[in-house]
A and B are shown apart, each in its own frame.
Chain A
Amino acid sequence: MNLLAVLRLLSLRHFRRHALRTLLALGSVALGVGAFLAMAALNRGVLDSFAQTARARAAGADWTVRVGRAGVPLELANELRTVAGVRAAAPMVIRPFAMGRGATIEHWNVLVVGIDPATLPEGTPGLPRPAFRALASPLAVLFGGAVPLYLPTRVAAEWGVEPGDELFVVTPSGSQAARVAATFDAAGLLDGSLQVAVGAPLEDAMRLAGLKQRVDTIQVWRDAAADREGVERALRGVLAGRAELEDPASQAHEFDATLGSFRLALRFVAWLSLVIAAFLVHSTLSMALAERRRELAIVRCLGLTAARLKVLLFAEAAAIGALGGLAGLLLGQLLARTMGSLFWSTVGQTFDRVEVVARTPSLGEALAGLAAGVVAALLAVVPPALAAARAAPVAALVAARGESRGADHGSKRAATMAALLVGLAMALCFVDGRRLPHGGYLVIALLIGALAVGAKPLLTLALRVSGPWLLRSGGVAARLARDHCARAAGQTALTVVAIALGFGLVFSTDVLVKSYVRMLNRWFAANVGEDLLVMGQDFVGSGMVGCDFEWRLNGELAAIPGVLHSHGLRFSRLPYQGERVLLFAYDAGGPAEAGDPEYVAGDDRDEAALARGEGCFVSEGFAHRFGKARGASVVLASPDGPLGLRVLAVVEDYLWPRGSIWIDDDFYRRAFHDDAVQEFALTLDGTRPIADVKSDVERVMTGQPTALVADAATVQHNVMGIVERYWTLLLAQEGLAVLVAFLGTLHALLVSVLLRRRELALLRALGAPLSLVARMLRTEGALLGFMGGLLGLAFGGAAASVALRILSLEEMGFAVTPAPSLQTALLTLVAATATGWLAGWLPGRHAARAAPRTALLDTMS
C-alpha cells in the first residue's frame, strides 16, 4: 500500500472536510497535553524556586547547622572549624523583623542577616565580599547604640533612605533604634530578589533577636579537595546531637511541606485532566470511525486488507496525537506562564521570601508530553480500529446505510466487569498503604475503568426505566431523544463517560476543598479553646514563623483580671530524619477550658505526664510518616545534646503537613534554653467583657508594635481565608476540565447528528417541524448531560474519598473524612445538564437546517 498517498487522499481529505471535528479532536489532545505540561512546569518551577531560595540563603555553603527556632550555641562554630576539611564555619542570624521610621511600621518581614565577615570564606561564589567587609567598618561604632544596617541599593531606593537615616526594628523586647550604615550592590545571600533582606553585624543581629550566645544557623564550607562524606561524618561527630546538620537545599522541604495538601490536590486534578483528555480522544476517534464506517467499508471492498486498515488508522491517530501534542506544547507554555503567575499571586503569597523561578516545560517534559499525546491517541484508537478491521466489508457497508448502532449484547458481561472493578477498588482501600505504595492512584484507575465499562449497562437500564416518564414529561422530542440514546447505547455511553469524568472532577475537587476546610474548622474548634490570641501580625501569613515575643509577657497577660489562663506558644521547625517537623511547645498543664487535644491514641492522663516533661505527643501524621506509635521513642537534637522523648500519645493535629511534636512549654525552655514565644493564647474566666480584657491585653502589649490581639473566631477566619486562597488554582484546572468535557460532548453530538442524517431527514420528510428536530437534539444533549452528571457525582465522590482517605494518608499521614456538599452536588448536576443542552444546541441547528431530500440522498455518493 502506498501509505503516504492513501493517508493524504483518504485521511487528510476527510480531516479537511470535517475541519471543525478534526479541530475538536486536536483540541482534546492539546488541552490534555497542555494541562499536563503546565502542571509539570508549575511543580518544577515551585520546587526550583524553593531550592534556589534555600541555596541563596545558604550563600554557597555545603551544610547548615540548625536547632530550629531555639538557635545553635555560638561556640559550636569554633568546634566545627577544627574539623579537618572544613574551610569555614560562619555563624549567622537570619530572621524576619518589622521595621519602620518615626512611629510607623513600614516594612514587614524584613530579613535581617547577621554576619561576622571574618568568619566567611574567601572567594566563595555568590558572596558579596566588599559589602560584607563593610559590616566590619569602624564607622559602625559611630552609631552608638543604634544597630547599623547595610541595605542593598535597590532596597534603599525602594524605602527612600540613605546612609545615616534613622530606622527602628521591632524586637521581642520592644523597638530598637537602627541606622542605615551603608548601601551596596547585593548578591547571593542579600540579593534584593530574595524580597527584602538587609545585613547587620552578627552581634547586633543577635541582640535584635534576643539570642544569647546563640545564632540561627552556622553555615559550613568545606575545602574543595576534602571528601564530602568524610567531612560530614566528622561534623556529625562534633555536633553529637547538639544540632542537626542539613544540606542547605533541604530548607526547600520546609516551603514545600507548607503546600502539602494543596500540591496533592493539584497533582490529583492534573492527572485526572490527562485521563479525561485521553478518554475524549478515544471517544472522538471512536465516533469519527463510526461516521467513517461506510468509507472504510468501501476501501475494504476495493481490496484494503484488515491489517492495512489498522495501519492506516493507527497512522491517522499518531498524526492526530502528534499534531495535538505539538499544539499542546504551545498551549502548555502559555498555561505554564498563566498558572505560574496565578500560583505566585495566590498560594505563593504565603512564601513572600521565596525567589520565584518561572519555568516553562523543559525539552524532556515537552517530549514526554508529545509522546503522551501520541500514545493516548494510539491507545484511544485501538478498540475502534480493531472493531473496524474485524467487520466484514459488506456487513459494514450494509450497516453504513443506516445508523450505526452500538452493540447491545455483552451488557451483562460489562456490568459484571464493572462490579468486579469496583469490588477490587474497594478491597484495595483496605490494604495498608505502606505495603502498596501509591495504591490510591491504582484505586482511582480502577474506578475510571469501572466507569468506562459500566456506563453502557447503567445507561441502558436508566433509559429503559425512564422511557414512559420522558414521553409524559417531554413529549415526542424527549421520547425520540431517549430512543436514539437507547439504540446507540455504545456511542452514547462514550459521551456520558466523558461528561461524567469532567464533572466528576469538578465535584471531587469541591469535596476535597470542603473536606479539608471542614477538617481544619473542626480541629480549630476542638483545639483552640482560648478566647483571645496575641500574635505577630505576620504570624499567620508567614506559616507560623512570625516575630518573637518575650516569655515574661505571659505572666503579665495571665495577671490581667478576667484572664483564667495564658499559654505562651512556641512553634519551631526542626530537622528530623531528613524532613522538617514542627516542635510545638504549650502549657500542657493548662485548664480544660483552654482546649483539649483530640486523641488518636491516648487520653487526658497522658497530658498530665506531658506537663511533667515525661515525653511528648506526636501528631497522627508524624506517627504515620516516621512509624512512631504510642510508647515509641523520638530523639531530637538540642543545645545540650540528643534529647530522647517517649511518645505519650498520638493526637489529631494539622499544624504542619510533615508532622508535629508537642512538648510542655516549661520543658521546652529548659531543654532548648529558648525563652521566646510567637503567640499567647488567653482563656477568659467570663467575669469581664471580652472587649475590656482585650483593651488590657493591648495595653500590656504596647511595647510590641507588631502584636495583633484578636478573638479566636477572627483568627480562625483569617486562617481559613489563607487556606481557601490555596485552592484558587484548582478552579483554573476545573475550568479546563469542564471545557474539555464540553468539547467532547459537542463533538459526540455533532457526529451523532451526522450519523443520523437519514433518520432526521425521514422525520422531516414525514412532517416533523424544524423545532422538533432541534428540540430533540437539545433534549438528547440534556439527557446525556444529566446522566453524565449523575455518574460524575458517583465517580467524583468516590475519587475524592480515595484521595482524602488513602492519598492523604499516604502522603501526609492523616486521613480526612470526606464532606460532600448536597448544594454542590445539585449545582454540578444542573451544570452538567446545561452543558449537554448547550452542546446539543449547535448540532440541533445544523440538523434542522439540512433539507430533507438532500439529507436522504446524501449517502448515495
Chain B
Amino acid sequence: MGTTASADVIFTLRGVTRHFERGGEVVAALAGVDLDVARGELLLVMGPSGSGKSTLLHLLGGLERPSAGAVQLHFKAGAPPLDLAQLGDEQLAELRRRHLGFVFQEFHLLPTLTAQENVLLPLLLDGVSEAQAHVAAAKRLFQVGLAARADHLPDQLSGGERQRVAIARALIADPSVLLCDEPTGSLDSARGQEIFTLLRGLAHDEQRTVVVVTHDPAALPFADRVLLLRDGRLAPPDRVARS
C-alpha cells in the first residue's frame, strides 16, 4: 500500500479515518489509510474529486484531526515521533509556523500585503523582528525568481507569480515539509511546469519532503512516488501504475 521500506520516514499514518457530518449523514473522507512518507521525497497524491486528497493533506499539516488512527511526524531519524492527534492547538500552530509549509490552489495571499509582506508574515507571527523578516523574505523571493516583484500587490502579479509567492511564504521558516494542495490548479501548463520544477528542486536539492495533491497528470514526471486515493482509500501500487 502506501508504506515505504525506507527507515528514513518523516510521516507515518496508521489506520487513519476521517468522518464528516454532512446533511445529517456521516461521510467518510478517509477510511483506514496506512501511509509512510519518506524524508526528501516528492510524493504525488492523485485521485478524483472527493476522494479525500485534501483531507489527507490537512491531516498531515495538523489542520484537521483524524476521527481514528494516528498521524505521526518524525522530526529526526531515531527520535520518538510526534502524534499530531495528541497535540494541542498551540503546539499545532507552532508546528505549522516552524516546520510545515503550505501552498494552496487559490494561493491564499492577503490582498492588502505586498509579495514581500505576504512572505514574511509567518516570521512575524513567530515573533521575529521586522528587519530580520524582511531580509529572509527577500532571500526567499530571490530563490523563487521574484526579487523584482517584491513590492507588488497580489493583484498586480500573474497566477504563476502568485503561486511562487505562496511557495516563498511556505519556505520562509525553512520547513522540512512542504504540503501543496493543487498548486497548479489555477495555472496554465507552462506555469505549472515551472512550479513542479521548483518543487522538485526543493525536494531533491534541499532535502525537503514535498507532498503534492493534484489532478494534473503533467506532474507525474516530477514525482518520486505517486499515490492514488479513491473513496478515501489508497489504491494498490499496481493500480497506480496502470492509472
Contact = CB atoms under 8 A, between A and B. Distances in A.
Contacts of A13: 112-113
Interface in A753-794: none
Given A299-B121, A394-B58, A394-B64, A861 B107 contact: yes
Given A392-B64, A394-B64, A861-B109, A305 B89 contact: yes
A401 B105 CA distance: 12
A196 B120 CA distance: 74
Given A299-B110, A299-B125, A302-B122, 16 more contacts: A2-B130, A9-B121, A13-B112, A16-B112, A294-B108, A301-B96, A301-B102, A301-B108, A302-B96, A302-B125, A303-B126, A305-B93, A308-B125, A392-B63, A860-B107, A861-B109
A16 B128 CA distance: 24
Interface residues of B, number: 38
B154 interface: yes
B112 A14 contact: yes
B106 interface: yes
Interface string A823-861: 000000000000000000000000000000000000111
A303 B130 contact: no
9 A-B pairs closest in CB distance: A303-B97, A305-B93, A13-B112, A303-B96, A861-B154, A861-B111, A394-B63, A2-B124, A298-B108
B224 interface: no
A753 B8 CA distance: 52
A6 interface: yes
28 contacts: A2-B124, A5-B130, A9-B121, A10-B110, A10-B121, A294-B108, A298-B109, A298-B110, A299-B121, A300-B93, A301-B63, A302-B122, A303-B93, A303-B95, A304-B93, A304-B125, A305-B90, A307-B89, A307-B90, A394-B64, A401-B106, A859-B106, A860-B106, A861-B107, A861-B110, A861-B154, A861-B155, A861-B162
Contacts of B64: 392, 394
Interface in B95-152: 95-98, 102, 104, 106-113, 117, 121-122, 124-130, 133
Nearest to A13: B112
Contacts of B117: 9
A397 interface: yes
B113 A397 contact: no
A303 B186 contact: no
A303 B90 contact: no
Contacts, number: 93
Interface string A271-307: 0000000000000000000000011001111111111
Interface string A1-18: 110011001100110110
Q: Which of A10, A17, A308 has its CB near the most chain B CB atoms (within 10 A)? A: A10
Contacts of B109: 298, 861
B194 interface: no
Interface string A304-336: 111110000000000000000000000000000
A393 interface: yes
B66 to A, nearest CB: 13
Interface in B179-217: 186
A389 to B, nearest CB: 9
B161 to A, nearest CB: 12
Contacts of B102: 301-302
B94 interface: yes
Contact of A306 (B89, B112, B130): B89
Interface in B66-103: 89-90, 93-98, 102
Contacts of A305: 89-90, 93-94
Contacts of B58: 394
Contacts of B97: 302-303
A689 B164 CA distance: 101
A629 to B, nearest CB: 65
A859 B107 CA distance: 10
Given A13-B112, A861-B155, A861-B162, A303 B107 contact: no
Given A301-B96, A860-B186, A5 B111 contact: no
B21 to A, nearest CB: 12
A331 B93 CA distance: 43
A295 B109 CA distance: 8
B233 interface: no
Contacts of B127: 1-2
A423 to B, nearest CB: 33
B169 interface: yes
A26 to B, nearest CB: 18
B108 A397 contact: yes
Nearest to B170: A302
Given A392-B64, A394-B58, A6 B125 contact: yes
A567 B90 CA distance: 85
Contacts of B128: 2
A302 B121 contact: yes
A135 B48 CA distance: 109
Contacts of B107: 860-861
A5 B124 contact: yes
Q: Which of A17, A294, A301, A302 has its CB near the most chain B CB atoms (within 10 A)? A: A302
Contacts of A301: 61, 63, 96, 102, 108
Nearest to B91: A305
B126 A1 contact: yes
Contacts of B104: 397
Contacts of A304: 93, 125
Contacts of A401: 106
A627 B90 CA distance: 63
Q: Which of A14, A17, A860 has its CB near the most chain B CB atoms (within 10 A)? A: A860
A306 B90 CA distance: 8
Nearest to B58: A394
